[in-house]
Amino acid sequence: MKLHVDQRFARVTRERFVATYFAEDFNDAVAAISGLKSRKLVEEHIEPDGTRVRRVRMQPSARIPPPIDRVIGSATVAWDEVQRYHPSEHLLHFHVESRAAERVRMAGVIRFLEDGDGVRRVIDAELTITAPLGLGALIERFVIAETDRGYRRMGEFLQRWLDEHGPASS
């Protein structure tokens, strides 16, 4: 199942947008709004070509429906989002790693595009869940809906954050 989110953020340069997007103070503040119970940067390094590689551990705050709980076999759902941001292309590739890796696959791309006085964040991802008795499609719809809702709430918060934490005056 595919996820597509295209949001525009006003009054911000792409450089400032990307810096904010990766800033831990912003990410700590937005976690609960995005539907996360916890979010922790586990690993981050910058490669010689400037590529930023990150591993972020996340746990959702949404109640997990029983069919999903049965498929993943755990009362606690958590995953690592592994990200590779390529600054020369303004492109972030990501995939999800979890204990349910043989049944759950999610990967995608986030593009940061200049757009007038702002930036568009375009997210394209695909989720595949393998489960018996047609439960995979049911679970995919739930996860995509929660993910979409989280990104949209994050977007609203991000615009407010950008407006309230404007660039430093020179």
Number of domains in the chain: 1
99 domain-assigned: yes
155 domain-assigned: yes
Give the helix ranges, DSSP H, for the chain.
Answer: 14-22, 24-30, 66-72, 135-164
19 domain-assigned: yes
169 domain-assigned: no
CATH of the domain at 41: 3.30.530.20
Q: Could you report the per-residue pLDDT of 63-109, keeping only the tens digit for each? A: 766 766 666 655 567 899 999 999 999 999 999 998 877 888 999 99
User: Which structural domain, as residue segments, surrounds residue 105?
Assistant: 2-164
Q: Could you report the per-residue pLDDT of 7-58, keeping only the tens digit for each? A: 999 999 999 999 999 999 999 999 888 888 888 999 999 999 999 999 999 9
Q: Could you report the per-residue pLDDT of 101-115, keeping only the tens digit for each? A: 788 899 999 999 999
| Whole-number Cα distances in Å, 138 to 4, 93, 123, 127, 143 | 18, 26, 22, 12, 9
Q: Is 163 left (phi over 0), alpha (psi -120 to 50) or beta?
A: alpha
Characterize 22-41 residue by residue with b for buried, 16 or more Cβ atoms within 10 angstroms of its Cβ, and e for exposed.
beeebbeebbeebbbeebbe
135 domain-assigned: yes
